[in-house]
Amino acid sequence: MSTLKYALFTGCTAKQSTPELLSSTLAVAEKLGIEITILEEASCCGASHLQDFDEFLAHVLNARNICYAEKLGLTMITICNTCQLNSAMTKHALDTDPELKARVNEKLAEVGLEYKGTSEIKHFLYTLIDEYGLENIKDKVQVPLSHLNIAPFYGCHNIRPSELHHSSNGGENPYNPTSLDQLIDALEGHPVDYDHKNKCCGFHVELQANHTSEVLAGNAMVDAIDNNADVMVTPCPLCHLKMDTYQDDVGKVIGRDIELPVLHMPQMVALALGCTEKEIGLNFHVQKATHLTA
């Protein structure tokens, strides 16, 4: 297999509250021989909130990020579902609307950039599965996760709207996604089957509709716990933040004790590939994942 090379759009959380996401991503890439160039020029994707405030500005800033991947001639990979969604929505809007593309490029020209539409945008989860391949990952497993019941939590913005993701990212069926289950299988863990795996965690209304947010996170976590999950895994750091940081508050609203470690997808792979404790970075979790090593 020729070496896979990607431009990594880190997003804000991997640079701030979830450093373990970045370190485990880089560690997995190194173990698998995937070459990563971090897009240090890339700004925040707007996380759908800037889009609510000023849609055009959000397109301009996301197009700028993509320009830097285009300059390298590489596929832009994301490690956050919401970064994936917002970057891909801008790409889709610009690639299908020449007038909008021209208006955006007029602004980008002011800083010497031009959006062309030459780079694909894909979540790291799907590059691992579709391009590196599950069979190849299986071959690299050093620490099988066979002692763990792992609840996959897919996160909305990698599976919906399916029309967008079908053209560029994973192509999951949002009513029956399978990628994380397959990945858990490949690492010899036991995927937990539960109804809420494809539901919303409530992160985006954490501030403005707190009760709704806690109820959604709680429903998912309780469902995973009741189906014997030892740990949850998600490709989205926003789902991670909601479910890891707010377990006490969520438990109070739901009326249940909730203790469930929430791993980032690359952390789970890093565990199975035998990466170092520092690279995996479990110390950064609020809900400590102490029982993960066999």
Q: What is the binding site for other proteins (CB under 8 A)?
A: 12-13, 15-19, 40-44, 46-57, 60-61, 64, 107-108, 110-111, 113, 156-157, 160-162, 173-176, 195, 199-200, 202, 204-205, 207-213, 215-216, 245-246, 248-249, 283-286
* Contacts of 270 by beta carbon, 8 Å cutoff, 6+ apart: 24, 27, 28, 31, 279, 280
Helices then strands, counting H and E runs in the chain, come out as 15, 8
77 or 137: CB nearest other proteins: 77
8 Å CB contact between 132 and 60: no
Q: How far is the CB of 232 from other proteins (least distance, A)?
A: 17
- Give yes or no for a contact between 78 and 123, defined as CB atoms under 8 angstroms apart: yes
> In the complex, what is the shortest distance from the CB of residue 199 to other proteins, in angstroms, rounded to a whole number?
6
Q: Closer to other proteins by CB, 71 or 116: give it.
A: 71
Q: How far is the CB of 141 from other proteins (least distance, A)?
A: 28
DSSP-based three-state secondary structure for 36: strand
User: Which of 133, 112, 124, 130 has the alpha carbon at shortest distance from 171?
Assistant: 130
Which residue number, 155 or 189, has a Cβ lying nearer to other proteins?
155
Give 23 or 119: the residue with its C-beta nearer to other proteins: 23
**Minimum CB–partner distance for residue 205 and other proteins (Å):** 5
Name, in order, each residue with C-beta under 8 angstroms of 229's C-beta and a sequence gap of 6 or more.
149, 150, 151, 192, 194, 260
User: Judged by CB, which is closer to other proteins: 177, or 189?
Assistant: 177
Tell me the helix, strand and coil percentages in the chain, rounded to 5. Answer: 55, 10, 35
Rounded Cα distance between 258 and 231, Å, is 12
Helix axes 81-96, 237-245, angle to 10 degrees: 150
Secondary structure letter of residue 3 according to DSSP: P
Residue 140 CB, shortest distance to other proteins, in Å, is 29
In angstroms and rounded to an integer, the radius of gyration of the C-alpha atoms of the chain is 19
Q: Return the number of the residue (128 or 180) whose C-beta is nearest other proteins.
A: 180
> Minimum Å distance from CB 48 to other proteins?
5
Give the nearer residue to other proteins in terms of CB position, either 13 or 87: 13
Give the neighbor-by-neighbor strand order of the sheet with 149-152: 190-191, 149-152, 231-234, 262-264
- Report the nearest approach of other proteins to the CB of residue 37 (Å): 12
